[in-house]
A and B are shown apart, each in its own frame.
Chain A
Amino acid sequence: MILVREIRKTYGRVHAVRGISFAIEPGEVVGLLGPNGAGKSTTIRILTSYLTPDAGSVEIDGHDTRTDSLEARRRIGYLPESAPLYPEMTPGGYLDYRARLYGLPRPERRRAVGAAMDRCRITDVAGRRIGHLSKGYRQRVGLAAALLHDPPVLVLDEPSNGLDPSQIRETRSLVNELAARRTMVVSSHILPEVERLATRLLVIAAGQIRADGPMAELAGAAAGGGRYVAEVQGDTGEYLRLLRGIAGVRDVRAAPLNGSAWSRVTVETGPGAGDPRPAISGHAARIMLPLRELHEDKPSLEHLFLQLTEGTGTAPEEASPR
């Protein structure tokens, strides 16, 4: 588990991190999201003991990164941004070197290197120079190095940075596999990536946490309630009247679909309202109105991101820092 208490870091006059606190439980996959320069990398570097915070503390599995740094580091697998490696080494040699740094004894070292290479699918390039590998392969070598000692905590800084779409897909599926049984922090400014990987989001902007919570919860809260869309055929007057009577419904609108007898009905609920979909479909059935589609119109992560980081909205109450 990761416990961060009120960390602060300044570079000269620039306040990179201004009092960030959060706790990540075992098994959680947390997406650290924020615009460039928001303080994501600084936060990650403090988590991994690369930087010492000016104030505050970080605990990794109960080990303070300042007073018990080596033990804390032993429990983290870290993939820094753009996976810096030694180009003159081979993946096999590099992983063996990393295993030695972590003090793995010889038999365990061989097993760990082999397992990490298999897992990250780099066995076929084990003997080639890292400098001659594609960026995707280098990223996987970096991931294999982070996994070698089977750490309970994985920290990945921009794991898809600079990769092409197929490499991004491969890296994403690999990270998804790794997420099982581990506490994971994935930093990224690529929204769909975070959306697919993380079960919880930490949105950072200007060195502060703007939102913290599960994706669905944050998105719903940012939108101030739910939004549902139904498509029905025929006169919608009576139907709209019934829908307005559903508990928690704030607004109901209907718009005809071009060139057909079908209409799109939008139902908006207020914060804390339950799921109105059973009632929406039930009312259509009661007045014999053909209904061909009904879905929740989730606000996009992009919308949430812009709202939280550009100051166009405030972080919702249930999304406030823990």
Chain B
Amino acid sequence: MSSVWAIGRRELASMFRTPVGWVVIALFLLLTGAAFSVGLVPGQPASLRDFFAVSAWLLMPVAPAVSMRLFAEEHRTGAIEPLLTAPVSDAGAVAGKYLGAWLFLALMVAPTLLYPAVLWWVADPKPDLGQIGAGYVSLVLQGSLYLAIGTAVSAMTSSQTLAYLATLLPILGLLLVSRGASDSSLGGSGPMPEWARRTLQALSIPARASDFARGIIDTAHIAFFLVAALWCLFAAHAALDSRRWR
């Protein structure tokens, strides 16, 4: 366990040793801050709906940028060799890397807690804290899943560019699949079978996020994000393990 923490700590610190980490955080806070201020309309009920909507979409380019270097960079430089010959299991290495990326995301989102605090201070009537809490849970769950996808992809390649693009693609798919689910047909080739519509809806992240946005914390939604993230981390572990056999 201490080795997982050591890897996570190193990974987190390395993101702040280069300008990239600071730039990503600054851009995220700038854009979400703009969304927050746009949502402040005199006479209107206080809400963070715009902030959460923008944040969720920003995670799409940000999460792959954070996860792309996790293993790809180590494969490229050869630093993976000292790591995988240390007394750390492959599962421990994956968990440590993921932990580092997750902590970065948490530190990136943490300053935005200022927004509900400001809202609570200036708004009358007071904002719905339950709804805001559900919004943050949704944000963290989405970020966790995206990072897990990125960790798996990064473990499969030594190119950061490829890792970024190959992570972006499935995330985009999960975000856009709801359009397919809400349409009655697929590309005009006839009505969509019920089972296909249901499958697409089950995979749709916006469909689940909209429930969170309404303040509904559904355990089925939480389970979906957690199981999907775990499955991706398992894939990362398998990718790492397969390298020993190649």
- Identify the A interface with B (CB < 8 A): 11, 45, 48-52, 70-71, 73-74, 76, 78, 80-82, 84-86, 88-89, 93, 97-98, 100-103, 142, 145
Chain B residues with CB below 8 A from A74, complex form: 87
Q: With contacts A70-B89, A73-B87, A84-B77 known, is A145 near B2, CB below 8 A?
A: no
A70-B87, A82-B78, A103-B2 provided; 18 other pairs, C-beta below 8 A? Answer: A50-B84, A50-B85, A52-B245, A70-B88, A70-B89, A74-B87, A78-B81, A78-B85, A81-B78, A84-B81, A84-B82, A88-B14, A88-B18, A89-B10, A89-B14, A93-B13, A100-B3, A100-B6
Which listed residue, A45, A80, A84, A103, touches B3 by the CB 8 Å rule? A103
Q: With contacts A73-B87, A100-B3 known, is A11 near B246, CB below 8 A?
A: yes
Q: With contacts A73-B85, A84-B82, A103-B87 known, is A52 near B244, CB below 8 A?
A: yes
CB nearest to A94 among chain B residues: B10
CB of B100, distance to nearest CB on chain A (Å): 12
Number of interface residues of B (CB under 8 A): 27
- The yes or no answer to B41 lying at the interface (CB within 8 A) is no
B81 pairs with A98, CB closer than 8 A: no
Q: Mark B75-114, 1 if CB is under 8 A from A, else 0.
A: 0011111111111110000000000000000000000000
CB of B11, distance to nearest CB on chain A (Å): 10
CB nearest to A146 among chain B residues: B82
CB nearest to B244 among chain A residues: A52
Distance of A221 Cα from B244 Cα, bound (Å): 38
Distance of A85 Cα from B82 Cα, bound (Å): 8
CB nearest to B1 among chain A residues: A103
* CB<8 Å pairs between A and B, sample of 16: A11-B246, A45-B81, A49-B84, A50-B85, A73-B86, A78-B81, A84-B77, A84-B78, A84-B79, A89-B14, A100-B5, A101-B3, A101-B88, A102-B86, A142-B82, A145-B82
A102 pairs with B244, CB closer than 8 A: no
A51 pairs with B244, CB closer than 8 A: yes
Chain A residues with CB below 8 A from B85, complex form: 48-50, 73, 76, 78, 80
CB of B160, distance to nearest CB on chain A (Å): 15
Q: With contacts A11-B246, A88-B18, A89-B14 known, is A50 near B81, CB below 8 A?
A: yes
Which listed residue, B6, B17, B18, B81, touches A101 by the CB 8 Å rule? B6
B7 pairs with A101, CB closer than 8 A: yes
Chain A residues with CB below 8 A from B17, complex form: 88-89
CB nearest to B83 among chain A residues: A101
Chain A residues with CB below 8 A from B7, complex form: 101
B79 pairs with A86, CB closer than 8 A: yes
Chain A residues with CB below 8 A from B80, complex form: 84
Which listed residue, A76, A80, A103, touches B81 by the CB 8 Å rule? A80
Q: In this complex, which of A76, A85, A86, A98 has the most chain B Cβ atoms within 10 angstroms of its Cβ?
A: A86
B79 pairs with A97, CB closer than 8 A: no
Distance of A100 Cα from B86 Cα, bound (Å): 10
Chain A residues with CB below 8 A from B83, complex form: 101
Chain B residues with CB below 8 A from A70, complex form: 87-89
Q: In this complex, which of A45, A50, A71 has the most chain B Cβ atoms within 10 angstroms of its Cβ?
A: A50
Chain B residues with CB below 8 A from A93, complex form: 13
CB of A71, distance to nearest CB on chain B (Å): 8
CB nearest to B6 among chain A residues: A100
B6 pairs with A97, CB closer than 8 A: yes
CB nearest to A129 among chain B residues: B17
Distance of A11 Cα from B243 Cα, bound (Å): 11
Chain B residues with CB below 8 A from A100, complex form: 2-3, 5-6
Listed from nearest, the 4 A-B pairs whose CB atoms lie closest are A100-B6, A84-B78, A88-B17, A101-B86
CB of A12, distance to nearest CB on chain B (Å): 9
Which listed residue, B5, B9, B78, B87, touches A102 by the CB 8 Å rule? B87
Distance of A11 Cα from B17 Cα, bound (Å): 37
B86 pairs with A98, CB closer than 8 A: yes
Chain A residues with CB below 8 A from B87, complex form: 70-71, 73-74, 101-103
Chain B residues with CB below 8 A from A85, complex form: 79, 82
Q: With contacts A80-B78, A88-B14, A89-B14 known, is A50 near B86, CB below 8 A?
A: no
CB nearest to A46 among chain B residues: B244
Distance of A71 Cα from B89 Cα, bound (Å): 11
Chain B residues with CB below 8 A from A11, complex form: 246
Distance of A48 Cα from B86 Cα, bound (Å): 9
